[in-house]
Amino acid sequence: MRHYSLTQIERITGIRKSVAVYWIREFPSLADSVIEEDSELLLSMTGVEKLLRLRLLLMEQQFTLGGARRQLSREAGSSPGETESRRKLFKLRDELVNLRDILDENLDEAAE
């Protein structure tokens, strides 16, 4: 997968490097598209597309940071708290599966 440096992104999109870095810190979904190589941030094409979407929301449509976050969450099909809740549910499910496996092992040992 091709990745782009902040210098390339600035040249292509017109988004200043400092602004891109700030947005990467403010929007976790954007940070998922970033890798660091030799102390340089590189974004995947998906990350570049997200930056362009943010530029549209923040600069052209005059969204606030919070408004842009909510809009991106709506577009992704989840509310801002839903992702965290989902992560917690998956963790709880994994813990319950582990507990069930331990109980099954104990029942098997007791039956022998």
Question: What residue spans define the domains of the chain?
Answer: 1-77, 79-112
Q: Parallel, antiparallel, or unpaired: how do β-strands 34-37 and 3-5 relate?
A: unpaired
CA torsion angle for 20, 46, 86, 92 (degrees, to 10)? -100
Integer Cα distance of 50 and 64 in angstroms: 16
Please tell me the predicted confidence (pLDDT) of residue 20.
93
| CATH class held by domain 1-77 | mainly alpha
- What are the structure tokens assigned to 26, written together? 């403010």
Closest C-alpha to 23, from 2, 11, 56, 37: 56
Integer Cα distance of 49 and 95 in angstroms: 36
CA 82, 83, 86, 92 dihedral sign is: negative
**pLDDT-flagged residues of the chain (< 50):** none
pTM over 0.85: no
Please tell me the predicted confidence (pLDDT) of residue 67.
93
